[in-house]
Structure 1
Amino acid sequence: MRGFFTPIVGALAALFATFAVPVSAQEEEPRWSIAIHGGAGTIARENMTEEQDAAYRAALQRALDAGAAVLREGGTAMDAIQAAIEPMEDDPLFNAGRGAVLTWDGAIELDASIMDGRTRDAGAVAGVTGVRHPIDLARKVMTDSPHVMLSGKGAETFAEEQGLETMPLDWFETERRRESLERMKAQSLSAIDVDVKFGTVGAVAIDQDGNMAAGTSTGGMTGKRWGRIGDAPIIGAGTYADNRSCAVSATGWGEFFIRVGVAQEICTRLRYRYQLEIDAAQREVPLTSDGEPSYIIHASEFALEAGQAQEEIDAVIGEVGALGGDGGVIVITSEGHALFSMNTSGMYRGRMTSDGPGEVAIYSDE
């Protein structure tokens, strides 16, 4: 992996300061970053009461604090994202775990995925019921099975074999989600008309060792039929992590995120953008009298700027929009930048790094 918060060294430090972390960073405490989301969509201030606004911000802060605590104490990115996602799976404000939307038949079918950027191991589950923390089950698929994705009854059997916590089905259901399904059927609405926001939850992180992880959990779309599966449990669409570039978790209209392959597309673009920028920097190195570069820039001495990464992330979300889809992503880069991108009026989100107290936000102009 290219350097995580690694400084430029040597006589050319000043020349390449634009691309590098200051040398003083070598003496700082180990660095880490985390970002979370709780869904994106048509989220407008005028449609939120002060109480609702405060409730979402408090829920996001709890999840963010849980994940950050793991990283602050030297824990792994994998443990941090699970610690951040599980409180949101338990919170009926979000469409994941308890509070998940209902299928056309009034059932709850849960999807989740997780990926380790260090090894690119991954696990996912789709269409499961009764499992309190689908993100935990996805991780067990990764670590305790030879597979990447399990679905339905098979995934539930595996969860039972692993001794994972289950809850009665009525624990997951909320009146708000029941009303949404009834309104959808009574008024012949589409899932998009009912779900003005996508309540999928997710987290991405980089730990003190420079390892990254990503995870996503969801109940899908109101009134989904025929075993519909969105992007959340699909590695490369809704979730992806690769220490060479970034970790991504997505939320939005899953069909479009699948078609674009959003999560892996972002990571791939960042890898290529990094190479383009390092090549450009190398061309600026003074030449010797023999016409050879006086210095070769090493990957460990170079970092992609946050703005450069943001351009690539925004381009992918722009591609989703061009096809007719909407939603957003959270991204952690290998340099530790915690970034957001969305083409909706809001996304429940938060981020924190070892540099400061962090932030939570809802609306796109925050």
Structure 2
Amino acid sequence: MTIPQFKQCLDDILGWWMNTMIDREHGGFYGRVDGYGQLHPTADKGVILNTRILWGFAAAARATGREDYRQMADRAYRYLVDHFLDREHGGLYWMLDHRGRPKDGRKQVYAQAFGLYAFSEYYLLTRQAEHAEMVWAFFRLIEDHAYDEQYGGYLEAFTREWRLPEDFRLSPRDLNAAKSMNTHLHVMEAYTNCLRTNAHPAVRGALGQLIEVMLRRFVRPDSGHLHLFFDADWTLRAEIDSYGHDIECSWLLTEAAESFRVFAPALVERTEAVALLMARTSRERGIFPDGAFRTEAAEDLVDTDRHWWPQAEAIVGFYNAHQLTGDVDYRAAAESIWAYTRGHFILPEGEWHWRLNQDGTPNPTEDLAGPWKAPYHNVRMCLEMMRRLGE
């Protein structure tokens, strides 16, 4: 587990995206490559894919100084602003057709958060005033439209015109619930990055409040697992253990709280204790005997497939726990998952399989690139490990 390994992995992933996904006819990036490696040039273009492309290339350009990564970030930013941005009602459309025309105008707060996350990273790369203005606009957009003044936290979704919808779901597999862990987690992630661009008291206050919501509402104090879905008044809707989100949340909470070390050291101490509880549970229950990290479980049902994104988050999450404690077992867990990932997930062309069967063979029914498969989890893992191993 070395810096050169992660640097090579980063360049291989982004090289695949530059070689495969640029849509030179209609602009931006193609919407889908299936699990067999087949490009679908007329596939719809999703906002999660495109905001994550911007984040991934901007973050990589900042870390490496590579001009080709910066050019990809410029391309992604321009396409988001020219095509996804709703200039009448504000925010980002959910889906465009392959020509860049709006197809689904709903406003998922998760998507607006990824817009803020990506725009913040792009500003950190460019330092241009117009990009700072976009960051502030999206912070205000989320606060003005999505914050729940009555019960606290953030509502899940709205129509294009920012009215409450009948269906809040982020994806068909989710519950139709007014509040979710996933949206709150990624609003917190976005606000953490936003604060790096603008130390405005409103941003710091919103982030601090959101950390408290995560600690009090979403993390189960007995196990460290996360509650996933609530009604608007915080009535719990379901119990599913999402190990991938647990370990991802553990290190994102640590990152979010770090900016409060001077202002609120007690909050940092509480957050790190919770993060370690989550990491401990994940290490004890979340690692398969072959070294892969599990995705989720519900009652007696366990998902025995291996998915790409929990591997990436677990490598960072366990190494983060090692850094907090010095416990070599956490580092060993990260090394084990990294070894499994290198041996099973990574294609010769650079991108990762979405899903493997229990025996470690690829399941090609899931995309290599698409609305939910982007240069985000694995790119961020590479960048985080390069940074952390270099400290």
- Verify same fold: TM over 0.5: no
Considering fraction of residues, name the structure with more helix.
2
TM-score scaled by structure 1? Answer: 0.29
TM-score scaled by structure 2? Answer: 0.28
Considering fraction of residues, name the structure with more strand.
1
Say which one has the larger Rg: 1
Structure with the greater relative contact order (CA < 8 A, sep ≥ 6): 1 or 2? 1
